[in-house]
C-alpha cells in the first residue's frame, strides 16, 4: 500500500500538503491539488483505514454476534444488517456464539478492544437459559452501544428490535379457529428460547379464550428426533385438525408427515408455521407461513445502531424498542 509519505516524497512537497490536497482543502493551490490527485490516482492511493481509525477514535465497524449462522432466519437478519451497514460505509465483523454463553462473552470481550464501534446481537440459547446479563452491561458501560434483536435480554437497557411473537401465534391460532378447527396443537423445537415461550403463550391465550379443550403441546429439544416425535404425536392424537408450529422445521415435517399418514392437507388438517418463503416450498402442499421480515429486522437494527453512533451526545438519546410486525402469508396448507 502506498502512503502519503511516499507521495509527498515523489512530489517534493510535505505530507500535510498531500493530505490537504486529497481532501480538497482550500488552503492548497489548484495546480498542486491537481498534481497530487493525479499521482494518487496513478498509484491507486487509498487512505489507510487503521491509521484513520486510530486518529479519529472510531472504526466504522460493527460487531455482530449471532447464535447460529445456519439458522435461516438469523442468516437473513445478518444479510439485512450487512446491506444496511455497507450502505452507510460500515463494515461488519461477525462472530458466531454457537449458542454458547462462554463464546458470546469472549467475542464481546475480544471486540471491545477498539475493533468495533458497537454491537448488534441476539442472545445465545445458553445465555437465555442462565439469564446472565452482566457482560452486556459491562460492554455498554465501557461506551460501546448494543442493539439486541429477536432474542433479547429485557433487563438490559439498550435498543431492541423484536417481533410480535405473542400476537403472531395468537392471530394464527384464531385463524385456524375461524376455519372451524376443533383440535389445534402447538409444536415447537425452540422451547428454551424467549421467542419460543412467547409463541406458546400466544397460542395458549387464543385457545383458552375460545375453546374448552386443553392446549395440546408437543415440545422437542432435539431437531434430530422431530420426524419420529411428530409421527407418533399424530398417531396418538387422531383428532388433531390444526397445527401451529413455532419453527419452520416443525412445520415442514408436520405437513409432510400428515400427508404421509394419509391425511389430506388442508382438508383434514391445517398447518401454519413460522418460516420464510423459500422454506415454504419444501412441503407439498406448500406451507402457510408467519413471516418475520428478517431482513427488515436486520436493517432496522443497523440503522438504530448507526444513528446512535453518529449522534453527538448519544447518551441523551432514549433507548427504544421497535416491534416489527409479522405477516401471515396464506398458502396451500390452510383453507
- Does 48 sit near a second copy (CB under 8 A)? yes
Between 144 and 148, CB nearer to a second copy: 144
Report 9-28 residues binding a second copy (CB under 8 A): none
Q: Given candidates 10, 16, 210, 330, which one binds DNA under the rule CB under 7 A?
A: 16
Contact 229, 217 (CB under 8 A): no
| Distance, CA of 33 to CA of 47 (rounded, Å) | 16
Between 112 and 335, CB nearer to a second copy: 112
Grid cell 388433531 — which residue?
Answer: 240
Q: 109-134 burial by CB neighbour count: b if 16+ within 10 A, else e?
A: eebbeeebbbbbbbbbbbbbeeebee
- Does 114 sit near a second copy (CB under 8 A)? yes
Q: Given candidates 37, 43, 48, 335, which one binds DNA under the rule CB under 7 A?
A: 48
Helices 248-260/226-236 angle, 10° precision: 50
Cβ at position 137, least distance to DNA in Å: 23
Q: Given candidates 52, 129, 178, 311, which one binds DNA under the rule CB under 7 A?
A: 52
- Measured from the Cβ of residue 234, the count of other Cβ atoms closer than 10 Å reads 20
Task: Count CA atoms closer than 13 A to 92's CA, side-chain side.
Answer: 27
Instruction: Return the range that interacts with a second copy (CB under 8 A); candidates 80-88, 159-167, 171-179, 210-218.
Output: 80-88
- Does 57 sit near DNA (CB under 7 A)? yes
Size of the residue set binding DNA (CB under 7 A): 30
Pairing of β 327-329 and β 184-188: unpaired
Between 256 and 326, CB nearer to a second copy: 256
DSSP 243-294: EEESSHHHHHHHHHHHHHTT--TTTT-EEEEE--HHHHTTSSSPPEEEE--H
Q: Which does 254 bind (CB under 5 to 8 A by kind): a second copy, DNA, none?
A: none
- Does 59 sit near DNA (CB under 7 A)? no
What residues contact 99, with CB distance under 8 A and at least 6 apart?
67, 68, 124, 125, 126
Between 81 and 207, CB nearer to a second copy: 81
DSSP 14-68: -HHHHHHHHTT-TTS-HHHHHHHHHHHHHTT----HHHHHHHHT--SEEEEEES-
- Does 43 sit near a second copy (CB under 8 A)? no
Report 238-267 residues binding a second copy (CB under 8 A): 249, 252-253, 256-257, 259-260
Helices 15-22/30-42 angle, 10° precision: 90
Cβ at position 135, least distance to a second copy in Å: 12
| Distance, CA of 215 to CA of 213 (rounded, Å) | 7
- Does 144 sit near DNA (CB under 7 A)? no
Residues that bind a second copy (CB under 8 A): 1, 46-51, 53-54, 59, 61, 69-70, 72, 75-76, 78-79, 82-83, 86, 91-96, 98, 110-115, 142-143, 223, 226-227, 249, 252-253, 256-257, 259-260, 278, 281-284, 286
Residues that bind DNA (CB under 7 A): 1, 3-5, 12-17, 19-20, 22-23, 25-32, 47-48, 51-52, 54-57
Amino acid at each position: 500500500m502506498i502512503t502519503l509519505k511516499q507521495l509527498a516524497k515523489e512530489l517534493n512537497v510535505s505530507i500535510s500538503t498531500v493530505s490537504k490536497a486529497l481532501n480538497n482543502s482550500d488552503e492548497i493551490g489548484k495546480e498542486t491539488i491537481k498534481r497530487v490527485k493525479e499521482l494518487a490516482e496513478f498509484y491507486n492511493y487509498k487512505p489507510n483505514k487503521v491509521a484513520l481509525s486510530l486518529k479519529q477514535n472510531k472504526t466504522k465497524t460493527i460487531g455482530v454476534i449471532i447464535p447460529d449462522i445456519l439458522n435461516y432466519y438469523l442468516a437473513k437478519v445478518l444479510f439485512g444488517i450487512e446491506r444496511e451497514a455497507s450502505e452507510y460505509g460500515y463494515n461488519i465483523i461477525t462472530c458466531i456464539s454457537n449458542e454458547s454463553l462462554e463464546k458470546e462473552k469472549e467475542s464481546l470481550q475480544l471486540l471491545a478492544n477498539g475493533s468495533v464501534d458497537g454491537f448488534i446481537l441476539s442472545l445465545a440459547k445458553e445465555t437465555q437459559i442462565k439469564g446472565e446479563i452482566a457482560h452486556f452491561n459491562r460492554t455498554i458501560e465501557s461506551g460501546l452501544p448494543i442493539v439486541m434483536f429477536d432474542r433479547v435480554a429485557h433487563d438490559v437497557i439498550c435498543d431492541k428490535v423484536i417481533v410480535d411473537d405473542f400476537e403472531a401465534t395468537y392471530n394464527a391460532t384464531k385463524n385456524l379457529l375461524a376455519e372451524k378447527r376443533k383440535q389445534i396443537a402447538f409444536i415447537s423445537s425452540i422451547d428454551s428460547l424467549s421467542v419460543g415461550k412467547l409463541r406458546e403463550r400466544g397460542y395458549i391465550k387464543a385457545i383458552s379464550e375460545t375453546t374448552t379443550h386443553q392446549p395440546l403441546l408437543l415440545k422437542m429439544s432435539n431437531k434430530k428426533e422431530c420426524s419420529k416425535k411428530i409421527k407418533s404425536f399424530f398417531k396418538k392424537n387422531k383428532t388433531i385438525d390444526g397445527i401451529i408450529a413455532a419453527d419452520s422445521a416443525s412445520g415442514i415435517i408436520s405437513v409432510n408427515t400428515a400427508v404421509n399418514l394419509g391425511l389430506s392437507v388442508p382438508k383434514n388438517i391445517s398447518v401454519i408455521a413460522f418460516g420464510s418463503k423459500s422454506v415454504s416450498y419444501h412441503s407439498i402442499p406448500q406451507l402457510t407461513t408467519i413471516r418475520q421480515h428478517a431482513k427488515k429486522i436486520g436493517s432496522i437494527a443497523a440503522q438504530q445502531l448507526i444513528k446512535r453512533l453518529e449522534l453527538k451526545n448519544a447518551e441523551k438519546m432514549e433507548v427504544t424498542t421497535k416491534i416489527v410486525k409479522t405477516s401471515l402469508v396464506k398458502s396451500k396448507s390452510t383453507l
